[in-house]
Structure 1
Amino acid sequence: MFKVLLWALAIYMLYRFIFGLVIPVSKTASQIKQKMTEMQQQQAQQQQEYARQQTQTAPKSGPTATPKRDDYLDFEEIK
């Protein structure tokens, strides 16, 4: 009789361990992995869009205006 109760208690504890800890942890791990994959895909898309915008707004090579020397003020250090 005592053996049967001990086995029933062991099976119950194993059941509680599996369904209370192992399964929820594995589900959470798979959800985190899925969210990380989604975030990486979103980041890759944003980088592609940024690169596309940079190529579209890149200045065209042409003559650049050099600033005149008269446009700058001399800097004097104040003590």
Structure 2
Amino acid sequence: MFFAWLLYKLVFEFIIPVYRSTKAVRKQMNDIQQHMRQQYEEQQSAHNYGQGQSSQGQAPKPPKRDDYIDFEEIK
């Protein structure tokens, strides 16, 4: 009878609460990862939009020749 009580206490006061808390932590971690992934995708789409790329996949225009400065090595 003592061992049945001990087994009952072990299962219902230790194993089940640990299982539930582990499940809750995993769910929270998945939610956080999903949120971070959404932020990253939004940031990437905003970054691409800022560079002249559209969601239709058009390539950005090449920079003008005036934008470059000639490099001269100094010795």
TM-score (norm 2): 0.69
| Percent sequence identity over aligned pairs | 18
Q: What is the alpha-carbon root mean square deviation over aligned residues?
A: 2.0
Shift of 1:17: 0.4
Number of equivalent positions = 66
* Corresponding residue number in structure 1 for 2:18: 25
The residue type paired with residue 64 of structure 2 is P
Shift of 1:20: 2.0
Shift of 1:54: 1.3
**Partners of 2:37 and 2:22 in 1: how far apart?**
23
* Corresponding residue number in structure 2 for 1:63: 64
**Partners of 2:33 and 2:7 in 1: how far apart?**
38
Unaligned runs of 5+ in 1: 1-6
The residue type paired with residue 6 of structure 2 is M
Unaligned runs of 5+ in 2: 53-59
Q: 3-state SS of the aligned residue for 1:67?
A: coil
- Quick one: which of 19, 24, 32 aligns to 1:39? 32
The residue type paired with residue 67 of structure 1 is I
**Which has the larger Rg?**
1
